[in-house]
């Protein structure tokens, strides 16, 4: 089955700790994305990657970091510098940038 997987579904962390969210796709897509969604709001772009070993900041990159060492994987690290990390995080991919995006099931992160 082709698709995008995100793990874990729920994640709890203490304030001051870094945490890494996983995103894997087996769709052979070049482009991958990370979004953040807060309750009752739309999605906001954190980072995107057009191709392996390349990534660009989105609208709200502060306090986050990413890597793209493999085509299939685009992990997101939420660092202790992110002031309000509690949110729903969604990963997406597309065959290339500017094409239709497909989303994973998301990870709900709670930091206390």
Partner 1 sequence: GIQVEQSPPDLILQEGANSTLRCNFSDSVNNLQWFHQNPWGQLINLFYIPSGTKQNGRLSATTVATERYSLLYISSSQTTDSGVYFCAVENDYKLSFGAGTTVTVRA
| Least distance CB 68 / partner 1 (angstroms) | 15
Which sign does the torsion angle of CA 107, 101, 71, 48 carry? negative
User: Which one of 22, 44, 60, 77 is in contact with partner 1 (CB under 8 A)?
Assistant: 44
Q: What is the DSSP secondary structure assignment for residue 4, as one 8-state letter?
A: E
Q: State which residue, 18 or 53, has the beta carbon closest to partner 1.
A: 53
CA angle centred on 16, ends 86 and 77, rounded to 5°? 60
Q: Say if strands 76-78 and 19-25 run parallel, antiparallel, or are unpaired.
A: antiparallel
Q: Of 21-29, 41-49, 66-74, 76-84, which part binds partner 1 (CB under 8 A)?
A: 41-49
| Least distance CB 80 / partner 1 (angstroms) | 25
């Amino acid at each position: 089955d082709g698709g995008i997987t995100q793990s874990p579904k729920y994640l709890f962390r203490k304030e001051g700790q870094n945490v890494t969210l996983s995103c894997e796709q087996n769709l052979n897509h070049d482009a991958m994305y990370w979004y953040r969604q807060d309750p009752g709001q739309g999605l906001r772009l954190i980072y995107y990657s057009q191709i392996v070993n390349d990534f660009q900041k989105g609208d709200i990159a502060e306090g986050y970091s990413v890597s793209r060492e493999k085509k299939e994987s685009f992990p997101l690290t939420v660092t202790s510098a992110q002031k309000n990390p509690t949110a729903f995080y969604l990963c997406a991919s597309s065959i290339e940038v500017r094409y239709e995006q497909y989303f994973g099931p998301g990870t709900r992160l709670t930091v206390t």
